[in-house]
């Protein structure tokens, strides 16, 4: 059975989108069948996977407001084994349009039910806020993966995120679990990165991935070419790291 993983952290710029794109692509490289869902109106996961966000007739927005069926919004990307539900700026209106709708927290879950078993992994990229789009992603997900940037303010906002997850678990999705925490933008040249990793490990009892994503300029360049890192520069440190993360995600629970 497939697993639905929401990549969440209400802080912007921590590496959610970079992780969603490259984890998805590296899972597909390892022959997993992957569906990536872009839940951020910025649509950076969409463009980062080489799909033009501005010419899509049907996106996750149309899906959420009931204007299209699930099979009408799934795009086959150029990457073998990787499908995408795209998003664009229209999604920013969804929050308001869903006001007063019955069971609005469950819309995504209901909408993807039919295709869930066609995939080994479904990766959802969340927006940088704890809004109804994030709640929909958390209600749909089996697990939550939290990227944490190795910077001075790393712990800021984490207790709020944990509270939200607990609330969703209590009220909307009792089987929701933590997938794990992944450190991003690690800079081996500074002591700060190391300290952040140690602090967060002390503060949170959650599973932390052995893989740490390094700061790697190739990861920042790849999206402007519409390519995931394994296709943009297969041998760079960022590609190696996301492959290792994909391995850990595949073998989750086997060795701990
Ligand atoms: N490991 C990394 N090394 C270098 N740049 C990175 C890395 N991860 C992310 N970035 C860059 O940092 C910025 C924020 O990352 P992004 O994945 O968009 O964060 P989020 O989705 O959490 O807002 C982007 O410009 C991205 O290219
Ligand atoms: Mg993002």
For 64-82, the DSSP string reads HTTSS-HHHH-EE-SSTTE
Distance, first Cα to last Cα, the chain: 20
pTM of this structure: 0.97
Is 132 within 8 Å of 66 (Cβ atoms)? Answer: no
**Residue ranges per domain, the chain?**
3-255
Integer Cα distance of 251 and 168 in angstroms: 26
What is the rounded distance in angstroms from the CA atom of residue 142 to the CA atom of residue 230?
Answer: 26
Pocket of ligand 1 contains residue 187 by CB under 6 Å: no
Distance 172 CA to ligand 1 centre (A): 30
* Cβ neighbours, 10 Å, residue 160: 12
Contact 81, 33 (CB under 8 A): yes
Mutational pocket test of ligand 1: of 6, 9, 14, 15, the residue with most ligand atoms within 8 Å of the beta carbon: 15
- What tens-digit pLDDT sequence spans the chain (256 residues)? 789 999 999 999 999 999 999 999 999 999 999 999 999 999 999 999 999 999 999 999 999 999 999 999 999 999 999 999 999 999 999 989 998 899 999 999 999 999 999 999 999 999 999 999 999 999 999 999 999 999 888 888 888 999 999 999 999 999 999 999 999 999 988 888 888 888 888 888 778 999 999 999 999 999 999 999 999 999 999 999 999 999 999 998 675 5
Ligand 1 centroid distance, CA of 177 (Å):
25
What CATH number should be reported for the domain whose range is 3-255? 3.40.50.300
């Amino acid at each position: 059975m497939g697993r639905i993983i929401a990549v969440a952290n209400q802080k912007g710029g921590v590496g959610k989108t970079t992780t969603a794109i490259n984890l998805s692509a590296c899972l597909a490289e390892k022959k997993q069948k992957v569906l990536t869902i872009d839940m951020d109106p910025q649509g950076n996961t969409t463009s980062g996977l080489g799909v033009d966000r501005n010419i899509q007739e049907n996106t996750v927005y149309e899906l959420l407001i009931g204007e299209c069926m699930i099979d009408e919004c799934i795009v086959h990307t150029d990457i073998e084994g990787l499908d995408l539900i795209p998003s664009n700026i229209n999604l920013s209106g969804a929050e308001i349009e869903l006001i007063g709708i019955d069971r609005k927290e469950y819309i995504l879950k209901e909408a993807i039910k039919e295709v869930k078993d066609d995939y080994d992994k479904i990766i959802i990229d969340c927006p940088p806020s704890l809004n109804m789009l994030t709640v929909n992603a958390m209600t749909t997900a089996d697990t939550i993966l939290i990227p944490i940037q190795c910077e001075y303010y790393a712990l800021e906002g984490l207790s709020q995120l944990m509270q939200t997850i607990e609330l969703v678990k209590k009220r909307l999705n009792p089987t929701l679990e933590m997938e794990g925490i992944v450190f991003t933008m690690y800079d081996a040249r500074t002591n700060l990165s190391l300290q952040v990793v140690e602090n967060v490990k002390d503060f949170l009892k959650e599973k932390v991935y052995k893989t740490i994503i390094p700061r790697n300029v190739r990861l920042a360049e790849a999206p402007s070419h519409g390519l995931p890192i394994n296709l943009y520069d297969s041998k760079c440190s960022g590609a190696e790291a996301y492959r290792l993360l994909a391995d850990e995600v595949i073998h989750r629970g086997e060795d701990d």
